[in-house]
Structure 1
Amino acid sequence: MLFVSLFRAVAGRPLAARVPLACLLALLLATPAQARQTVPSPIEGWDEVIFNERTRYRQDADAECVRAEARNSASGLVREVRAEASVTPWLRWAWQAEAPLQPGQEAAERSRAGDDFVTRVYVVHEGRFFWQTRAINYVWSREHPVGSHWANPFTRNAVMVVVQSGDEGLGTWHEFERNVVEDFRRYHDLDIEEIAAVAVMTDADNTRGEASACYRLPSLHASPHL
């Protein structure tokens, strides 16, 4: 599906493209392509894109959330939304983590070797041409303060934005909402008309570590709630 290819292009991971997208993907990626897989996820309405082994996602009925457990793995849940940005510009979600990401090897978050996060939420805009696809990753950083942002180390088509930082808030739920129209303008200098997809990912493959979290999955809304 196109929206899965969009997520692959902006998730900040090397991947194998389906012909005839291979040439376009080569423009987006800074590393050689490797085989990847898209599979149905255990969460209804969401697909799973596997970059490097599977992060385990499951519905936690007691906590009313989707639990993610990564062990030297990286896969994400993605959902096509095709929403008119001016009508539903507000992205809302919540997450909780009991412990920070436990890296098996230390590396700076802004580097490829350190590009793992206990929680990520993506919002994806599809450009007219495939290489114009852009994304914003809202992340829980282990190094940088809230408000920090930088280009993803694998592709400059995605910007990392820190919305939570450090060990503060472990063990409790945190709700977020962002006006993605304003954020695409701020971080990509881009006025968007449509939101193509949203996604989440807990990953620990680059640092060869472990991470776990629970998500109340992202959704789009017409107005702010918090």
Structure 2
Amino acid sequence: MVSLAAPMNNRFTLCIMFGLAASPALAADGSLSLRFSDSTTGSQLPVGWKNYPMSRHKAKADIRLVRDGDTTVLHIDANRSAGGIAHALKLSPEQVLSWRWKVDHSVAGANLEKKHGDDFAARVYVFFDVPTSALTFGERLKLRVARIAMGHELPRAALCYVWDNTHPVGTIAPNAYYGAVRTIVLQSGNALAGQWRNEHRDVAADFRAAFGRQAPQITGVAVASDTDNTKGHVNAWFGDLTFSAPAAAPESTDE
């Protein structure tokens, strides 16, 4: 596992107003599935999902539900733009998050260590209820400024799983704009571009690896794609997301 250092400056990246959607009910086995596949195609988002701005001053990516084979998936077309959707939750951190994703290519000019390179073909965020007292003074100040400027609540900590361009799979790094978001590289480069990839992540274990402490409650999840810094063009697709107990999580498979 590779760890990188980066500046902790604020980009107002994770602008989600928690509480807009009630946490959905768990299934009988304790799992929670956030399904795109049950939805009709078009720009109308499934219940519970909300658009949120990744940047107030830059172009918004086109986000819509589309058919991929016989299944409905979420498509983000990020053309010199950024966009994502988020869902508020209230879950124990002892979860395995499973999903599948696909990109047409990685973002060639990206560099997760630099603010001007902070773009990814695809991102999946998990937000956490970290107490304000656990943040550094600088992080608390940045949160206050961001809330005033954007008029949104911001998650105080997050994991950001990404499809990167050059860094090795397993890299963990602070976000170049806000260090309380930790980037984890799950896919890298173009060798598997155009193919659906299935991911299964032990969220609590990833939080401990990224932050060096126990994970607090999960408060939300988001999917996103962005090329607003590097001025490129990328397409990303996301399938259903499921939270489940670690023992109940499926084996990793790829298509």
What is the TM-score of this pair, normalised by structure 2? 0.68
- Contact map agreement 1:109 1:143 (CA 8 A) in 2: no
Residue 127 of structure 1 aligns to a residue whose secondary structure is coil
Match of 2:45 in 1: 43
Q: Which runs of 5+ in 1 are unaligned?
A: 1-9, 18-40
In the alignment, does 2:173 pair up with 1:171?
no
Kindly report the root-mean-square deviation, in angstroms, between the aligned alpha carbons of the 2 structures: 2.4
Structure with a larger share of its residues in strand: 1
Deviation at 1:16, TM superposition (A): 11
Match of 1:3 in 2: none
Q: Which runs of 5+ in 2 are unaligned?
A: 1-7, 16-42, 136-155
Match of 1:197 in 2: 220
- Contact map agreement 2:76 2:225 (CA 8 A) in 1: yes
Match of 1:20 in 2: none
In the alignment, does 2:154 pair up with 1:156?
no
- Contact map agreement 1:67 1:213 (CA 8 A) in 2: yes
| Distance in 1 of aligned mates of 2:184 and 2:207 | 11
Task: Decide which of 62, 68, 71 is 2:76's aligned counterpart.
Answer: 68
| Distance in 1 of aligned mates of 2:134 and 2:234 | 31
| Distance in 2 of aligned mates of 1:107 and 1:135 | 20
Task: Decide which of 54, 57, 60 is 2:63's aligned counterpart.
Answer: 57
Q: How many residues align?
A: 189
In the alignment, does 2:226 pair up with 1:224?
no
Report percent identity of matched pairs: 28
Match of 2:98 in 1: 92
Deviation at 1:175, TM superposition (A): 0.3
Measured against aligned partners, the alpha-carbon deviations of 1:135-194 in whole angstroms (never above 9, x if no partner) come to 111111101110112110001101111000111111111000101111111111121241
- Contact map agreement 1:95 1:213 (CA 8 A) in 2: yes
| Distance in 1 of aligned mates of 2:105 and 2:80 | 16
For the pair shown, which has the larger CA radius of gyration, 1 or 2? 2
- Contact map agreement 2:97 2:242 (CA 8 A) in 1: yes
Match of 2:159 in 1: 136
Measured against aligned partners, the alpha-carbon deviations of 1:47-68 in whole angstroms (never above 9, x if no partner) come to 1111232111111134421011
**Inter-CA distance 15–131: structure 2 relative to 1 (3 Å threshold):** farther
| Distance in 2 of aligned mates of 1:16 and 1:173 | 25
- Contact map agreement 2:106 2:164 (CA 8 A) in 1: no
| Distance in 1 of aligned mates of 2:168 and 2:125 | 19
| Distance in 2 of aligned mates of 1:131 and 1:115 | 25
| Distance in 1 of aligned mates of 2:230 and 2:82 | 11
| Distance in 2 of aligned mates of 1:16 and 1:144 | 22
Residue 54 of structure 1 aligns to a residue whose secondary structure is coil
| Distance in 1 of aligned mates of 2:13 and 2:200 | 30
| Distance in 2 of aligned mates of 1:200 and 1:46 | 10
In the alignment, does 2:119 pair up with 1:113?
no
Deviation at 1:127, TM superposition (A): 1.5
In the alignment, does 2:125 pair up with 1:122?
yes
Greater shift, 173-182 or 54-63, is seen at 54-63
**Inter-CA distance 139–192: structure 2 relative to 1 (3 Å threshold):** same
Measured against aligned partners, the alpha-carbon deviations of 1:115-151 in whole angstroms (never above 9, x if no partner) come to 0000000011012228742111111110111011211
Residue 196 of structure 1 aligns to a residue whose secondary structure is strand
Task: Decide which of 83, 86, 98 is 1:78's aligned counterpart.
Answer: 86
| Distance in 2 of aligned mates of 1:164 and 1:183 | 16
